[in-house]
């Protein structure tokens, strides 16, 4: 089955926003392929490393917030 990775990436970005802490960090408990694509799209800084969180770029943080509110607001 072909998957729409852009939709997967948007959902993952919104869920990363759910774990937002320290103003721009999120826990990186996501699939590595997804994190890699988000990095390539400029939404997060390089996720590779021992740190257990990723850092949103300014654009990524704004998009994550918008997606989170759009997808999960009642």
pLDDT-based confidence at residue 33 (cuts at 50, 70, 90): very high
**Mean pLDDT, residues 57-65 taken together:** 98
Task: Give the whole-angstrom CA distance, residue 25 versus residue 71.
Answer: 20
* H-type alpha helices, 1-74: 5-18, 32-40, 58-72
Stated pTM of the model: 0.93
pLDDT at 63: 98
Q: What percent of the chain has pLDDT over 70?
A: 100
Taking each helix axis from N to C end, the angle separating 58-72 and 5-18, rounded to the nearest 10 degrees, works out to: 90
Q: Which CATH architecture has domain 5-72?
A: Orthogonal Bundle (1.10)
């Amino acid at each position: 089955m072909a998957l729409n990775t852009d939709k997967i990436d948007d959902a993952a970005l919104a869920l990363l926003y759910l774990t937002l802490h320290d103003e721009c960090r999120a826990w990186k408990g996501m699939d590595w392929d997804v994190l890699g694509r988000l990095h390539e799209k400029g939404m997060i800084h390089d996720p590779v490393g021992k740190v257990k969180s990723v850092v949103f770029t300014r654009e990524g943080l704004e998009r994550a917030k918008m997606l989170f509110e759009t997808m999960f607001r009642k």
